[in-house]
Structure 1
Amino acid sequence: MNPDHEQAEKAQAFQNAADQEARLLLKRPGLKLSQEAQELLLRSVSNATALENLRENFVESNGINELYPLYISRDMGKESIDLEGYDFQIVEGVATFCGFNDSNTHLRVLAPEWNIDKYYLGRITEDYKSLVHMNALRLSAYHEGVAEGDSEIGSASTKTGEVLDRLPQNISEKEFRALQNRMLYSVLEFTEEEGHLKNNTSVVLLLEWRGRRLLFTGDAEWDGKGMEEGRKNCCWDVMYGIPEVKKVLLNPLDYFKVSHHGSINGTPFEKQGFQKIVEKMVIPGRTEVVVSTKWGTHNKKNPIPSVNIMKDLGSLAKNKRKYPHDPDDQLQNEYQPQRTDQEPDLPDDTARYVETVFEPVD
């Protein structure tokens, strides 16, 4: 997100708080975390460095043109953004970049929406059940409408690391440890929630090239609840809920990059979502489906990639294949989309990608 984006101020305050809490926990001496919890915190901490590299270091070291970076959204044409120097149009309500050497090539931006706070963060109120939202209430960005005396509750949030390591005199050690564990859980939940926010502000791009349609979905998530103004919405639900985007999205694809590494919440998967969305895009005999993933790096409850999603997409994909040595024995005899983690290594074994070749449609 653009650090100067006025309609993402709350989302960025939320992210900054999660990053600060994660750093404090990782510095805490003697803290033993599960692999999953540690990866969650490290992802939060590394994000700021990654963004700095993209915005500054990458540009300088590669001599990239001064128009970079451009923070894009589906409805960016409605905002006061300086687009001088770009061959940019709004086509059927969707931001579209032209100006390629091939005049039959267009790049459409299907997500995110410009107003990030409104669509992807939603209202934060005290009636939310999750403890994470109580933490969000403590941020200065959410102090509107809170009595001045009540705003002091915010001081505890930024000092979690200190509180966890200090045994107060007015509480028993047992009670303190219980409180300590609850605060640890709260920070982990806070960081996980912030991870969903990152995923759902993914840039979703549709590349149209000589009659071919290639969809790149990033880490976009889906929860099947539909889109509602003022609520925390998922990226797929927002795209499906905006008529202009839905009209462009629900057409046959030649290439589909599966979102969020094939996770259960990365593709419109429930029957309703699969039939209404995926089956209109992924066409047997036409659509190449690719999953960028790595088996065994996430929790066992909802493993990535999802067995059911791999089976269902494998039944439709033009490039379906079987991986007899799949680490998950449920998939060893099933057709799947093409997966980066199961394809043979290339000479440079630090890279994991698959090649897909398209001929233009005359």
Structure 2
Amino acid sequence: MASRALPLSPSLRTSPIAAIPLWRDALAMFALAVLLRCWWYGDPAIQVDEQFYLLTGDRLLHGAIPYVDIWDRKPIGLFLIYAGVRLLGGAGIVQYQLVATIFAATTAFLVIQLARSIASPWAARMAGAASLIFTIVFDGAGGQSPVFYNPLVAGAALIVLRALEMPEGEDRRFAARGVLAMALIGVAIQIKYTALFEGVTLGLVLLWAARRRGIEAGLPGLAALWIAIAILPTAIAFTAYAVAGHEEAFVYANFISIGDRPGTAALRLAKRLGAVIGLGLPLIVAGVAGVRVRQHGEEAKQARMFLLVWLIGATVGFFAIGSLFNPHFPSKALISLS
């Protein structure tokens, strides 16, 4: 049972544990990520999606144009990541898995920084470890797209949280942090479009905070700036295709084709949802327990409210596509743990 004195009491803010250098947390999360994911290093068939992403990245380097010569509905940013992986040499299998490990570890490190706002340092580290474990539970042992966009979204969330904590009178710095957060969201959207929902949520939080700070006269201009920054990577991608005469292929693959997919039967969706809830039950229980823990100080209360709002946005994004493909715990992990 969680202690009600755990989150951010004054003694925890000044404890020796809280003063542990950040690089140690980063190193610990990387080591744990390697330990959890190394069972799949070299396996070319973790997920059929990743084989295709690697193939597309390779063909892109040889002049093929995604959506024109080789087709998928994922944003171009994901294929650019895999193209970059092919530049590392080798067959690309171990290379993309190692790159994915770095991204997963970065996400875990950022989760620690976010969790420190409402929990003790050790509890925050447990949250970071949980992010690594449950990424694998939910089919992210390799290089699925969320593995690559998660650190961007988590980084944006951390920037927004720090912006909320800024004192009044620093409106320019506040606006600049909003620009940086939306820039990260813009890149994340070009890895997978479902990041849009979290981006909209973070943007609304920024606008709410700006209004509370008294930035009312300039609020429309600030909102327009942040929106422009968020859509800039997508606009650049579209412009590149339009200049090459392939704007129709880009628009169909990225925005229209998702609506042309056949629907999923309600019973099948219910079964998939049951599997998701079952696998995520430890996180659900931990989240409910965390909400019940009393927070110390206004900053901790504000941080908890922010995290809850972000969770709502992420949940909407999770259900937005409507497929709820069954997650599965990869077979090699079952073998290694048996």
TM-score normalized by structure 2? 0.30
Hey, which of these two has a bigger chunk of helix by percent?
A: 2
Task: Name which one, 1 or 2, has greater alpha-carbon Rg.
Answer: 1
Hey, which of these two has a bigger chunk of strand by percent?
A: 1
